[in-house]
Amino acid sequence: MNRRIASIASNTFREAVRDRVLYNLIAFALLMSGAAILVGQISIDIERLVVINLGLTAVSLFGIVIAIFIGIGLVSKEIEKRTLYTVLSRPVRRWEFIVGKFFGLAGTLVVNTFFMAIGVFAALLYVSHRFQRSDGWLLVALYFIVLEFLIITALALLFSSFSSPLLSAVFAFSLFVIGSFAEDLRGFAGLTHGITRWLATGAAYLVPNFSALNVISSVAHDQPVSGQLIAYNSAYALVYAAMALSGAVLIFERRDLK
């Protein structure tokens, strides 16, 4: 990574920390400890299942909310505060600014996920009293959640490069919901005919495929995740994030900032 991108990324990370983004960890810790204590008292034999499902879902949702609400402000806030002009008056290209912002927020989310993962494993240890071999699949589920964050961060940046923060949040959140049903969408497209089929298939392939990245249910049931899926999902998330970032760069390069 070039030095200018690294500087923007580290500043973005510091800014997120200053904005008390990591305070969500307190809410997460309360949720996990509460769930771990409560579930042992009110249910039979599903403590482990509940902790995994609740924990990983919370990691995913907390991260998605952060990715969207921080991501949409990354560009607009800099314009609003006029700090963007200071940055761009230095030898920093616009594309470097976008890419740096992406890595900064992605880094914030990775750190955040790391601490939340510790919370999930601690709660799991509390209810199960020991780890088992299949708990290793939780790491895969967490890795897929980070891949989700990369895609949603890139999308939030894409929308914020041309739209207002409110609309960007709406677009990004809508795409997250639609993307969670991506496999169903492709199924629906397969049932149509003629031009509708072409249009529906095109749209179904264009939206991000979050359904394949969500393996929370299967790891909660101790089901392994294939190596092939890990490889394809990794490549897909990187390629999709690259696609959204390229779009953001193309728009931002032409944007009139006066």
Partner 1 sequence: MSGLRRITVIASAVLLISLVASVVLLRRVDEVRSGATLEEVLYISSPKLLKRLSLGYSGLLADIYWTRAVQYFGSKHHVGAERYDLLAPLLEITTGLDPHLTVAYEYGSSFLAARPPNGAGMPQRAVQLEEFGIRNNRDDWKLYYELGFIYYMELKDYKAAAEAFARGSRIPNAHPWLKLLAARMAERAGDVRTAQMMWATTFNSTTDKSIRANAAAHLRALQVDDDVTNLETLVERYRQQTGHLPGSFSDLISAGFLRGVPVDPLGRPYKLGGDGHVEVRDPDDLPFIQKGMPPGYVPPKAPKFLPSD
Of positions 24, 77, 183, 222, contacts partner 1 by CB under 8 A: 183
Judged by beta carbon, residue 27 or residue 235, the one nearer partner 1 is: 235
Of 208, 215, 212, 214, the residue nearest 173 (C-alpha):
208
| Rounded least distance, CB 4 to partner 1, Å | 14
Q: Which stretch binds partner 1 (CB under 8 A): 65-73, 89-97, 112-120, 172-180?
A: 89-97
Q: Does 11 bind partner 1 (CB under 8 A)?
A: no
Of positions 81, 197, 221, 255, contacts partner 1 by CB under 8 A: 221
As given in the structure block, the two tokens for residue 49 are 């299942």
Q: Residues binding partner 1: what is the number (CB under 8 A)? A: 34
Q: Which stretch binds partner 1 (CB under 8 A): 40-48, 80-88, 111-119, 186-194?
A: 186-194
CA 165/CA 167 separation, integer angstroms: 6
CA 256/CA 235 separation, integer angstroms: 34
* List of residues 6+ apart from 101 with CB closer than 8 A: 8, 9, 12, 74, 75, 157
Q: Does 226 bind partner 1 (CB under 8 A)?
A: yes
CA 255/CA 88 separation, integer angstroms: 13
| Rounded least distance, CB 43 to partner 1, Å | 14
Judged by beta carbon, residue 3 or residue 91, the one nearer partner 1 is: 91
CA 215/CA 179 separation, integer angstroms: 14
CA 46/CA 85 separation, integer angstroms: 55
Count of Cβ atoms closer than 10 Å to residue 169 Cβ = 20
Can you give the binding site for partner 1, defined by CB under 8 A? 93-95, 181, 183-184, 186-188, 190-191, 205, 209, 211-212, 217-218, 221, 226, 228-229, 232-233, 235-236, 239-240, 242-243, 246-247, 249-250, 253
